[in-house]
């Protein structure tokens, strides 16, 4: 093994993982000094939000159930107004990336402590990254102010997650680890975490798709998502995430589904020039061609494999490529507009991923 130089940083966070861990929420809120918590959810998870309010008892100030995909800034401002109205001194988010994103947006503006309770495999709960959308553009920023203080992973809360969302959410998490493997600041620790996160999810998703109530499969998937989220929080992302942010913010495409469609095509483009990342992913997915393996996994489990099926117009391919190269992320291969347009064309059509 060659001697290398690297920098590895860790993030300050507290994680409760297991079955029934939601019951520890009141103690976690008390530990953070939260006496009047604003609970956050999407409209569809308002019932779960109300259950959290009940669990908090007198320390629950109320519920804001208006979280929306891609964290629109107008929704964040509405939620902050609710914080002021109720005199809330902390936020508790239950749900997926939309709700967790809203909690982060509030923390950015108020510096209030957060407890987040993920019910999907999004992974953003362990990152200091916030993506907000305004006027059709999604902007990503990094700040420790948005890193949740406590994350409660309760496997029981994922048992009712529909299989379709479980699969796309899991593929979204895999994208975090896959791009971490070729990040400029990847360390050996992050590489090991990323490989194990992908391995856990690739193994768990078919099992939970076959038996959604399989607690062991759900636990493996949630642990894999946590590991992949750690990667997202520790190193920078690349072309795949840039494209998904552009597509989500500009065309309002569903977040997890967009990741599941785009990832194999970006990997086919990038992995040719990063052999170590390719080898690690190949081990994790059990296939010499990780891009093809992930495309086939998505198709086999019923996830969308084309941007067209998500409602993106074919005419948007050129616009998305132009927006992507305007503010590129670090990437193993250059941000070349024609190449990116071809990647997006293949993703739009649902073609097999191929090397450009």
What CATH number should be reported for the domain holding residue 321? 1.20.1090.10
- Indicate the residue among 105, 125, 158 that finishes a domain: 158
283 is a domain residue: yes
**Per residue of the chain (356 residues), what is the pLDDT tens digit?**
345 677 777 788 899 999 999 999 999 999 999 999 999 999 999 999 999 999 999 999 999 999 999 899 999 999 999 999 999 999 999 999 999 999 999 999 999 999 999 999 988 899 999 999 998 888 888 899 999 999 999 999 999 999 999 999 999 999 999 999 999 999 999 999 999 999 999 999 999 999 999 999 999 999 999 999 999 999 999 999 999 989 998 999 998 999 999 999 999 999 999 999 999 999 999 999 999 999 999 999 999 999 999 999 999 999 999 999 999 999 999 999 999 999 999 999 999 998 77
Number of structural domains in the chain? 2
22-47: string of b/e by CB count within 10 Å (b at 16+)? bebbbebbeebebebbbbbbbeebbe
Whether residue 346 contacts residue 261, with contact meaning beta carbons closer than 8 Å, is answered with no
183 is a domain residue: yes
Q: Which residues pair with 91 in a beta bridge?
A: 38, 114
Identify whether residues 241 and 223 lie together within a single domain: yes
CB atoms within 10 A of CB 177: 31
CB atoms within 10 A of CB 136: 10
- Indicate the residue among 158, 176, 204 that finishes a domain: 158
Identify whether residues 144 and 178 lie together within a single domain: no
pTM: 0.91
Whether residue 221 contacts residue 158, with contact meaning beta carbons closer than 8 Å, is answered with yes
3-state secondary structure of 160: coil
Q: Residue 244's domain spans which residues?
A: 163-349
């Amino acid at each position: 093994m060659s001697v290398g130089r690297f920098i590895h940083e860790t993030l300050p966070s507290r994680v409760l993982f297991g079955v029934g861990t939601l019951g520890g929420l009141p103690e976690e809120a008390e530990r953070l000094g939260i006496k009047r918590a604003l609970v956050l959810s999407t409209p569809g998870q308002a019932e779960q939000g109300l259950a959290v309010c009940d669990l908090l008892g007198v320390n629950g100030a109320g519920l804001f159930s208006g979280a929306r995909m891609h964290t629109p800034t107008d929704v964040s401002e509405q939620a902050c107004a609710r914080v002021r109205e109720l005199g809330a001194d902390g936020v508790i988010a239950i749900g997926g990336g939309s709700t967790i994103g809203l909690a982060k947006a509030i923390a950015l503006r108020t510096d209030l402590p957060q407890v987040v309770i993920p019910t999907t495999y999004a992974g953003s709960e362990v990152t200091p990254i916030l993506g907000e959308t305004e006027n059709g553009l999604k902007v990503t920023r990094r700040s420790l102010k948005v890193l949740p203080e406590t994350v409660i992973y309760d496997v029981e809360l994922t048992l009712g997650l529909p299989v379709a969302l479980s699969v796309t959410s899991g593929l979204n998490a895999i994208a975090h680890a896959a791009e971490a493997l070729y990040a400029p600041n990847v360390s050996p620790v992050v590489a090991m975490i990323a490989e194990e996160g992908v391995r856990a999810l690739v193994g768990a998703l078919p099992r939970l798709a076959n038996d959604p109530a399989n607690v062991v499969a759900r636990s493996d998937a949630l642990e894999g998502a946590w590991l992949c989220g750690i990667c997202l929080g520790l190193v920078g992302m690349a072309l795949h995430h840039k494209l998904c942010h552009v597509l989500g913010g500009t065309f309002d495409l569903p977040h997890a589904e967009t990741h599941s469609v785009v990832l194999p095509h970006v990997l086919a483009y990038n992995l040719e020039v990063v052999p170590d990342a390719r080898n690690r992913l190949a081990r994790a997915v059990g296939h010499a061609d990780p891009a093809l393996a992930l495309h086939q996994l998505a198709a086999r489990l019923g996830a969308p494999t084309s941007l067209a099926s998500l409602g993106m117009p074919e005419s948007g391919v050129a616009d998305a490529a132009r927006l992507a190269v305007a503010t590129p992320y670090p990437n193993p291969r250059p941000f070349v507009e024609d190449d990116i347009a071809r990647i997006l064309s293949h993703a739009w059509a649902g073609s097999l991923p191929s090397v450009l």
